[in-house]
Chain A
Amino acid sequence: MKELAREPLDLVITGVGGQGNVLASQVLGRALLDQGYQVTVGETYGLSQRGGAVMSQVRVTRRGVLGPLIAENQATAIISLEPMEALRVLPTYGHPEVVVLTNDRPLQPLGVIAGQAEYPQPPKLRAAIEELCGRLYWLPATEEAMKLGAPILANVIMLGALAASGLLPIGAPEIEAALAEMFPDEKMAANRQALAVGQELVA
């Protein structure tokens, strides 16, 4: 078992209901558990299947059992499947050194669709996130997922990127093994491709 980049390693995974971030946190949790780490995953959803914000928290340690919530301003990294959601959780969980990996594809909330609120301009959004974190990976995960034929693969692409970022004590092969435990064989080719694409985005 490798040392952790931080003890405990606290990851916030956020996005919009339906993007598969709860699944991403499960895959990650399983991969880390398989390698002998103690993992606690906290999931925040409720009505969120209906397009609301969804957050999960993956806490990793080599010591005892941790609670299901990360303390405010203490996340090691924030992984977001939607750029505005990354910015939304930054003030609560971020700190000057936090690492942010975010998908760059905006998903407009209802108020924006109806013309009652404005979605921040992507360059402004990016600049605001960059200003608030230690390191930013701004990744075209949905775009790459669509090239693979399924936008839902953005979550696995983000896991590939996370594996390549050096933040985890495990790599893409361990994540792939966890995916293989959860998905039928016929889905694994696409998952493998998505993991590889994610790694390339960060390399």
Chain B
Amino acid sequence: MDKLLTTSGGRQQLLLGNEAIVRGALEAGVAFVTCYPGTPSSEVPDTFYRLRKQNPGATRYYFEYSTNEKVALECAAGAAVAGLRTMCTMKHVGVNVAADPLMTLAYVGVNAGMVILTADDPSLFSSQNEQDNRYYARLSGLPLLEPVGPAELKEVTKYAFSLSEELGLPVLMRTTTRVNHAREPVPFQRLPKTKTQGKFEKAPFQYVTVPAVSRNLHLKLLAAQKQALAISEKSDLNKIFGSGKLGVITSGVSVNYVLDAVDDLGAKKKIKVLKLGFSWPLPEKKIARFLKSVDKVLVVEEGEPIVEEAVNAIANRCGAKCDIGGKQMWKFPPVSVDVERPKFLSRAFEYNPRMVREVMAKYFGLKQQAPRPVSLKGIPDLPGRPPNLCAGCPHRATFYAVKEVVGPDAIHPTDIGCYTLGLLPPISMADFLICMGSSVSSSGGLSFATGKKTVSFIGDSTFFHSGLTGLVNAVHNNHDFTLVILDNGTTAMTGHQPNPGVDTEALGDPTTHIDIEQVVRGLGVQHVTTIKPFKVRSAMAAIQKAVDFKGVSVIISQELCPLYARRVAPKTKRPFAVNPNKCKGHLDCIQKVACPAMFLDDQGKAQINPLQCIGCALCAQICPENAILPVKAKA
């Protein structure tokens, strides 16, 4: 039995933050879980999925990977209004997709605990922006909890369900990458019995949000916010540590850095820290008392100065005279492609312990032991290590074939998935991306405005997530472009979750497989071809026909992700090697496809690393000398 399903309490387990969320939900008796995966939230749904699949007898909750976040939230809303404890998880930008149901679900409310996880990504480790989703609590009027580490994550998740029931509202729980991806000992409590049978009492004048109903529902939400404020004022999640006439107000992962700094500075009797774990509605009276008890206060929060501005307003209202420090609003860290560590309390990028300590020492006039840095003299320039498409990735073959057909001038709107890495040279086939699904819809605008050949890329999961409506729009309005659906049979980027197009038989899941080609034809696309990208010549011929077609054409490039195939359908192909007698050093293999299995030897000739090559044969097909051949099987 998996440790996460231990029914008794007791022993501490070293858990990832995201696993702690799952355990917290299990300890709350969660019955219905929906999600769309996305870093840094993915291990939450993946753990629910794995536990359910491996222990069908010991898990009673329903779980699904939904097609997108809006769908996930609406599906969960149905279960919650019928009285089941539900959880709905997504990354920060997913909340944008779910924002429509979120705003009005806040009006309608829930009849059993509902917890919505928003996993934010300061510093953009794997996201298209670093928006601060604490604003969503203000926008929707829903309460917001911000746990700081795995042990607290488990407790807070569990508490969030009962808070949700007390208020009759969904509860937002916001994490950041450092919280989701930290590991810490987590003590367990008992698992309760799970209630999986709900009941829906018809009450259209509460649940059907026509204007006459919603006017009242808005007032109901405002009253619930008032109730939430009273709870926040008394909540132990808004807690004071230490004592002294200097103060820090902080929330989220920064709490860790502040407490580490107080320790490092030996200032437990000088600095007191107000940690805001129940951070919306803000406990205004508690903050006012805190402000009146200190001479100086520093607000430490990643992202936007949301708490800071509120603290300033509260100080004004309550007449607190303390000095209030915080972000440098209009000073920015340097521009960098790498994860940049800001040296001051900035609005951009995640914070770090040393910076927080230095800022605190300076603001409070405390002495600190200066760290001894390393001299950078004599360090050679290090080549960067950007992520890359894997050896044998079928996307590389599709990109190659499309570029051979349309040349470098075509415009390539792209989308969110591994294939976004087609951005990097030598592939360089990603020209525009704003969000999931934007490849399809933006193609119409780009091709109309430029008159240029437009070939866009979208993955299978992203296509189901938000490509469908864009494609209908394109067909309906007679757009002119080719959409390439990169169907690698899984949601590769976020860890191989199933999606509606996945052959679920291999996974043994009871879900239904939806054929992408049939869907595309059903949406009215007149020119649809499915290709096998590793058959380079025939793939190119099909692509040529598709781009010659006037109107919307779709290519479905079908080949399993090799990492996924290794798990579900392992078969070994022989690796390839370069025959040095035949190789004339054109280096097409390296310059056009840059597979990580290839490298240049001391003589500047191409070589293949047999440990990495999986035998996809792409390079063998493009070598002008036919110098790349399978390694002979050992006798």
Contacts and interface: CB of A to CB of B under 8 A. Distances in A.
Contacts of A190: none
Given A87-B379, A108-B599, A52 B374 contact: no
Interface in B386-432: 386-390, 418, 421, 424-426
B527 interface: no
Contacts of B264: 71
Nearest to A116: B425
B149 A65 contact: yes
B285 interface: no
Interface residues of B, number: 65
Contacts of A68: 149, 178-179, 181-182, 184, 253, 256
B533 to A, nearest CB: 18
A35 interface: no
Given A72-B352, A113-B599, A47 B594 contact: no
A113 B596 contact: yes
Contacts of B371: 71-74, 95
Contacts of B387: 17, 47-52
A151 B353 contact: no
Contact of A110 (B125, B126, B149, B596): B596
Contacts of B183: 25-26, 29, 39-43
Interface string B290-308: 0000000000000000000
A107 to B, nearest CB: 9
B14 A29 contact: yes
Contact of A47 (B126, B373, B425, B563): B126
B349 to A, nearest CB: 13
Contacts of A65: 149, 151, 184
B611 interface: yes
Given A41-B183, A95-B372, A70 B353 contact: yes
A132 interface: yes
Interface in B548-568: 563
B425 A114 contact: yes
A111 B149 CA distance: 37
A51 B390 contact: yes
Nearest to A47: B387
B341 interface: yes
A72 B389 CA distance: 31
A177 interface: no
A193 to B, nearest CB: 20
Interface stretch (A119-127, A153-161, A165-173, A194-202): A119-127
Nearest to B13: A33
Contacts of B457: none
B346 interface: no
A109 B599 CA distance: 10
Nearest to A121: B380
A43 B184 contact: no
Which of A40, A118, A125 has the most chain B CB atoms inside 10 A of its CB? A40
A109 B14 contact: no
B132 to A, nearest CB: 18
A44 B338 CA distance: 13
Interface string A58-92: 00000011111111111000000000110110111
A111 B383 contact: yes
B442 to A, nearest CB: 22
Contact of B181 (A39, A45, A85): A45
Nearest to B125: A46
A102 B173 CA distance: 40
B203 interface: no
A72 B380 contact: no
B388 A50 contact: yes
B212 interface: no
A30 interface: yes
Contacts of A88: 382, 385
Contacts of B383: 84, 109, 111-112, 117-119
Given A33-B185, A47-B387, A67-B260, A120 B178 contact: no
A51 B341 contact: no
B365 interface: no
Contacts of B425: 114, 116
Contacts of B169: none
A53 interface: yes
B359 to A, nearest CB: 13
Interface in A16-45: 16-17, 25-26, 29-30, 33, 38-45
B621 to A, nearest CB: 19
A92 B376 CA distance: 10
B421 A33 contact: no
Interface in B592-627: 594-596, 598-600, 604, 611
B591 interface: yes
Contacts of B570: none
Contacts of A84: 382-383
Interface in B83-99: none
- Of A49, A71, A111, A125, chain B has the most CB atoms within 10 Å of the CB of A71
Interface string B352-377: 11100100000000000001111110
Interface in B179-207: 179, 181-185
A46 B374 contact: no
B290 to A, nearest CB: 22
B56 interface: no
B590 interface: yes
A5 interface: no
A113 B385 contact: no
B36 interface: no
Interface string B269-290: 0000000000000000000000
Contacts of B256: 66-69
B39 interface: yes
Interface in B481-500: 493
Contacts of B421: 47, 50
A33 B372 contact: no
B389 A50 contact: yes
Contacts of A74: 354, 371
A52 B383 CA distance: 12
A33 B12 contact: yes
Given A67-B260, A119-B383, 9 more contacts: A26-B183, A39-B185, A43-B182, A44-B181, A45-B181, A49-B387, A68-B253, A91-B376, A115-B591
11 contacts: A33-B12, A67-B256, A68-B181, A71-B264, A87-B380, A88-B385, A110-B386, A110-B424, A112-B599, A115-B604, A125-B380
6 closest pairs, A vs B, by CB? A67-B256, A46-B126, A46-B125, A117-B383, A41-B183, A68-B182
Interface of B: 12, 14, 16, 39-40, 125-126, 149, 151, 177-179, 181-185, 253, 256-257, 259-260, 263-264, 341, 352-354, 357, 371-376, 378-380, 382-390, 418, 421, 424-426, 493, 563, 587, 590-591, 594-596, 598-600, 604, 611
